[in-house]
C-alpha cells in the first residue's frame, strides 16, 4: 500500500480494534487505481460520530450532523464519515435527513458515479459493489443506479460529471449523458459559487475541450450564468486549444469569444459568476491589453512597461491562440525586452515630487503627477536618460519647471 494510505492506516486499525468497520473511500481509491497522485484521504466507518470521538483523543466536529468528524493524528487531519443513507433531497442539493447505517454497501450506493463508489480496506482489497473498476477500464463516467434519480438528488452532479470528462479524459456513459441532457435545467437551483468552482476545475482539466463540447451539445451552457443566448460564442470557445492558458487567461478568452470587451460588460459577466474583485480587475487588464495588442505589430517599450511582463506574456499567449489557434510564444524574447527597459516602475525614476518642488516656486498639486508621468514616458521610450541632472535640464527646456 502506498502513501498517503500508509500514513492513515493507524486510523483504520484503531477503529477496527474498537469493534467497528472502516475503509478508504471515494476519489482517493479511484485515483489509486488510476495510478494518479492522491490528495485527500476520506475514510468511511460503521462507527457513529460519537463513537469515533470516543476512540480518538483529538477530534473536531466539522460536519457532525451529516456524520463527519475530523480526527487529528500524527500531525495530519482525516475526515471520518459514518456510513449513511439519505432521505429525499431539498433544493436538488441537500438531503432532508441523514440516517446512519452499519453496512458499507448502503453507504456506497448513495454516491454519484461508479468510479467514486468503491472502498478499500486496510490490506488494499477493493470493495466494488457497482462495477467501478469496469467503468475505469472503459474510461466511462456512469452514475450509481438511475441517472435521473442521482441528478435530481443533487443537481451539482451534472457539473461534476462533465468535470470528470475534463480531468480524467473519460466519456459519459450513454444513459448518464441522457440524464444530464434531461436534467440540465436543475442547475438553476444550485448556488452559483458551486457551479463556478466546478466550471473552473473543468477549465483546468487536460481534456477541457471535450467537456466544453458536451456542454454545447447538451445545451447545458444555457443554464449557466450569462450564457443562455451565447451559443455562437461558447461554441467558438469550445474549439480553442486552451490547455496552455492559465485560469484567468481562459476567462479572458471566453469573454473575448462572447464579444464582451468593455470594462462594465466584463464586470457584469464575472460578477454573475461570483468571481472576486481581484480576479475581475486582472481579467479586465488582460482584455484591455489584448485589445491594445491587436493594434500593435509588436510590443513597444511603453506598452511592455505599462502592461508589466506577466500581463504581456499572458496577452501574447491569448493573442496567438485567437489568431493562429495555437500558443507558441517566445517568452525569453519578451523577458529580454522587459529586462532592457530603462526603468520597471516610476519608483525607479531618479527624481520625485520633492525635487520638482525644490526646483520651482510652485505649490504642491496635481501638476507634480503630470510632470512625473511625462518624465516616466520619455525615460521608458529612451528619449531621456534616467539621470537627475539631465532630467532637470530637459524639464527646463520643455518649460515644465
What pTM value is reported for the model? 0.89
CATH 1.20.58.560, the chain: domain bounds: 243-341
Is 365 marked within a binding site?
Answer: no
- As given in the structure block, the three cell numbers for residue 349 are 525614476
CATH number of 243-341: 1.20.58.560
Is 42 marked within a binding site?
Answer: yes
Find the helix packing angle between 247-257 and 192-204, rounded to 10°: 100
What is the reported pLDDT for 89? 60
Q: Cell match 447538451: residue?
A: 218
Is 163 marked within a binding site?
Answer: yes
Is 40 marked within a binding site?
Answer: yes
CATH 1.10.110.30, the chain: domain bounds: 139-224
Rounded Cα gap, residues 88 and 93, in angstroms: 10
Is 27 marked within a binding site?
Answer: yes
CB half-sphere exposure, 161, CA atoms < 13 A: 36
Is 111 marked within a binding site?
Answer: yes
What 106-109 contacts at long range (C-beta under 8 Å, 24+ apart), as own/partner pairs, is 107/25, 107/44, 107/83, 108/25, 108/144, 109/144, 109/145
pLDDT digits (tens, 9 = 90+) for 109-163: 999 999 999 999 999 999 999 999 999 999 999 999 999 999 999 999 999 999 9
Whether 25 has a pLDDT exceeding 70, the answer reads yes
Residues 6+ apart with CB under 8 A from 239: 209
Looking at the DSSP bridge assignments, the partners of residue 141 are 172
Residue 113: exposure state from Cβ atoms within 10 A (0-12, 13-18, ≥19):
buried
Backbone region of residue 222 per phi and psi (left: phi > 0; alpha: psi in -120 to 50; beta: other values): alpha
Is 154 marked within a binding site?
Answer: yes
pLDDT-based confidence at 86, cuts 50/70/90? confident
What is the reported pLDDT for 96? 64
What CATH architecture does domain 139-224 belong to? Orthogonal Bundle (1.10)
| DSSP string over 293-335 | HTT-SS--HHHHHHH-HHHHHHHHHHHHHHHHSS----HHHHH
Task: Choose between 240 and 64: higher pLDDT.
Answer: 240
Fold classified for 1-135: Beta Polymerase; domain 2 (3.30.460)
CATH 1.10.246.80, the chain: domain bounds: 346-398
CATH 3.30.460.10, the chain: domain bounds: 1-135
pLDDT-based confidence at 196, cuts 50/70/90? very high
What is the reported pLDDT for 94? 62
Residues 6+ apart with CB under 8 A from 215: 162, 221, 224, 234, 238
Whether 169 has a pLDDT exceeding 70, the answer reads yes
- Can you give the length of the chain in residues? 401
Is 90 marked within a binding site?
Answer: no
What is the reported pLDDT for 221? 96
* Three-class secondary structure of residue 130 per DSSP: coil
With contact defined as beta carbons under 8 Å apart, do 240 and 254 qualify?
no
Pairing between β-strand 140-141 and β-strand 171-172 as defined by DSSP bridges? parallel
pLDDT-based confidence at 95, cuts 50/70/90? low
Rounded Cα gap, residues 28 and 399, in angstroms: 71
Is 161 marked within a binding site?
Answer: no
Residues 6+ apart with CB under 8 A from 264: none
pLDDT digits (tens, 9 = 90+) for 260-312: 999 999 999 999 999 999 999 999 999 999 999 999 988 999 999 999 999 99
pLDDT digits (tens, 9 = 90+) for 328-356: 888 888 999 999 999 999 999 999 999 99
> Is the CATH number of domain 346-398 1.10.246.80?
yes
pLDDT digits (tens, 9 = 90+) for 370-391: 999 999 999 999 999 999 999 9
Amino acid at each position: 500500500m502506498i502513501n498517503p494510505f500508509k500514513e492513515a492506516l493507524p486510523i483504520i486499525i484503531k477503529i477496527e480494534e474498537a469493534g467497528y468497520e472502516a475503509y478508504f473511500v471515494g476519489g482517493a481509491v479511484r485515483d489509486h487505481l488510476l495510478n494518479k497522485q492522491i490528495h485527500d484521504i476520506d475514510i468511511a466507518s460503521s462507527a457513529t460520530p460519537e463513537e469515533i470521538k470516543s476512540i480518538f483523543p483529538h477530534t473536531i466536529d466539522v460536519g457532525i450532523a451529516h456524520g463527519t468528524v475530523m480526527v487529528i493524528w500524527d500531525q495530519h487531519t482525516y475526515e471520518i464519515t459514518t456510513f449513511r443513507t439519505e432521505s429525499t433531497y431539498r433544493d436538488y442539493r441537500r438531503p432532508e435527513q441523514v440516517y446512519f447505517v452499519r453496512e458499507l454497501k448502503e453507504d456506497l450506493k448513495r454516491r454519484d458515479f461508479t468510479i467514486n463508489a468503491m472502498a478499500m480496506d486496510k490490506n488494499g482489497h477493493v470493495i466494488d459493489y457497482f462495477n467501478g473498476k469496469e467503468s475505469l477500464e472503459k474510461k466511462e463516467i456512469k452514475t450509481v443506479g438511475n441517472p435521473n434519480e442521482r441528478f435530481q438528488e443533487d443537481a451539482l452532479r451534472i457539473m461534476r460529471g462533465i468535470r470528470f470528462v475534463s480531468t480524467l479524459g473519460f466519456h459519459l456513459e450513454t444513459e448518464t449523458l441522457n440524464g444530464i441532457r434531461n436534467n440540465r435545467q436543475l442547475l438553476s437551483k444550485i448556488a452559483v459559487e458551486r457551479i463556478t468552482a466546478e466550471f473552473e476545475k473543468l477549465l483546468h482539466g487536460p481534456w477541457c475541450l471535450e467537456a466544453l463540447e458536451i456542454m454545447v451539445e447538451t445545451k447545458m451552457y444555457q443554464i449557466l450564468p450569462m450564457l443562455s443566448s451565447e451559443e455562437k460564442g461558447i461554441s467558438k470557445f469550445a474549439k480553442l486549444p486552451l490547455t496552455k492558458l492559465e485560469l484567468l487567461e481562459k476567462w479572458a478568452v471566453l469573454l473575448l469569444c462572447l464579444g464582451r470587451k468593455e470594462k462594465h460588460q466584463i464586470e457584469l459577466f464575472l460578477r454573475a459568476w461570483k468571481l472576486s474583485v481581484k480576479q475581475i480587475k486582472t481579467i479586465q487588464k488582460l482584455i484591455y491589453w489584448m485589445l491594445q495588442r491587436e493594434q500593435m505589430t509588436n510590443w513597444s517599450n511603453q506598452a511592455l512597461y505599462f502592461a508589466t511582463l506577466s500581463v504581456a506574456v499572458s496577452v501574447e499567449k491569448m493573442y496567438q491562440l485567437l489568431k493562429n489557434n495555437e500558443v507558441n510564444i517566445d517568452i525569453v524574447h519578451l523577458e529580454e525586452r522587459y529586462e532592457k527597459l530603462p526603468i520597471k516602475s516610476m519608483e525607479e525614476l531618479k527624481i520625485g515630487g520633492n525635487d520638482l518642488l525644490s526646483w520651482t516656486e510652485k505649490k504642491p498639486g496635481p501638476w507634480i503627477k503630470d510632470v512625473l508621468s511625462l518624465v516616466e514616458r520619455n525615460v521608458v521610450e529612451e528619449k531621456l536618460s534616467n539621470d537627475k541632472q539631465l532630467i532637470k535640464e530637459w524639464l527646463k527646456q520643455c518649460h515644465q519647471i
